[in-house]
Structure 1
């Protein structure tokens, strides 16, 4: 068995050990089953009890509605948010909102931008902070002056996180999960330490 297959084969034993050694945590493995009835790892979710109020993490094969729904359903259970309308809206509309935001940011005429922002406004919660109030001239092509312009639309937080774990992603699955876990625990510890000074 190759080193990579060996790691994937040990995911369930790893999950059992997390459950045994961390009372109150949630650890779930999502799989696909092929025509030969063989399980293939599809996604992995951990939420440690100590971080349920501030730490949530999902590892999925692709960012789509199915993966987001799986992640949000687990998160709803962990955080006791079953009655949260806003979280329900996030689960239903997160992909659509993201696409509309990109559409608005890439608009080259003001009307297209306003149309995309109005659609976002109608599918989000009543307390949603309307992007028009966030200086669209600094992030939408329709409002750029001729002196400077850039059509790059970035998600700074996730891109920063992705760059931090870039080398971890190349490692076998169990080592990758452990290194990401250690990195996040150390980060939360240092942030908490800084906020106390």
Structure 2
């Protein structure tokens, strides 16, 4: 292994896995706090390692560096910038929610139609594994289906509420409530951070 060459397939595999985890953890109404831990303990060391390798390559092999060899260093920063851009623009959430919305709406409708008389259980609705429950039992609250996202290995601290007749009560979601579209709201429960 020449130090002048970019990190190999093991490094690229680690970057790719970290990218997929980061995109998945940011594809909920409120990104998971664990994404910050991933950034600190995974992304920072990967980027520092890449920068050290690039610096050594520039110092030791600057005479032999060609444009072709320099282009081999580009995949990692392109992945890092791409992941940052998608997360910053809320793209991973928008895509996952758009692909799951109709399936989640059918499930939410069945919960409201049941009026809380039956336990709807947990199931995959589109790209989200959710556990639903009827949340319109309080006085003055509109009928609401709450779908708690269960992204293993994380706790169910992110959720969706579907409220076709109004909006959910903000006091029921003291850690965060975000209007998504139409009767859909994103919510966040306490997650220890």
TM-score (norm. length: structure 1)? 0.24
**Greater fraction strand:** 2
TM-score (norm. length: structure 2)? 0.24
